[in-house]
Amino acid sequence: MPTDKSEVLQGTLDLMILKTLHALGPLHGFGIARRIEQLSEDVLTLNEGTVYTSLLRLQQKNWIASEWGQSENNRRARFYNITRRGLKQLALETENWERISAVISRVLALEVKA
């Protein structure tokens, strides 16, 4: 049965998190997930466990850093921000994504031979 929601393609969540942090500045995990869903116009649904797994992986690679702070509803939350290494990685990931998506676009544009 078709659904209006899509799952995130493997390997793209890290790129979307890095770009979100670069564009919007420090955010907590829930805020990152909701912002990406909003930007997707609710086409993507992000599982919080998946987002936090990605945040942990990005932090272990030193592409993001975190510190504790207060959320907008006065709860203690970990806020993430992109690092210099993360900015370099974002540039590489963006270039790679643009190259791969261009290939996919060319393949999808193929015409059926008569």
Q: Residue 41 is part of a domain; what is its CATH number? A: 1.10.10.10
**74 within a domain of the structure (yes/no):** yes
**6 within a domain of the structure (yes/no):** no
Owning domain of residue 97: 12-108
Distance (Å) of CA 58 to CA 35, 50, 94, 95: 18, 12, 16, 18
Whole-number percent of the chain with pLDDT over 90: 75
**61 within a domain of the structure (yes/no):** yes
**33 within a domain of the structure (yes/no):** yes
**19 within a domain of the structure (yes/no):** yes
**5 within a domain of the structure (yes/no):** no
The total number of residues written for the chain in this structure: 114
The pair of three-digit structure tokens given for residue 2, joined into one six-digit string:
């078709």
Check residue 2 and give its pLDDT: 45
Quick check: 1 pLDDT over 90? no
State how far the Cα of 11 lies from the Cα of 31, in Å rounded to an integer: 20
How many structural domains does the chain have? 1
pLDDT digits 0-9 by tens, 67-102: 999 988 889 999 999 999 999 999 999 999 999 999
**18 within a domain of the structure (yes/no):** yes
DSSP state at residue 110: P
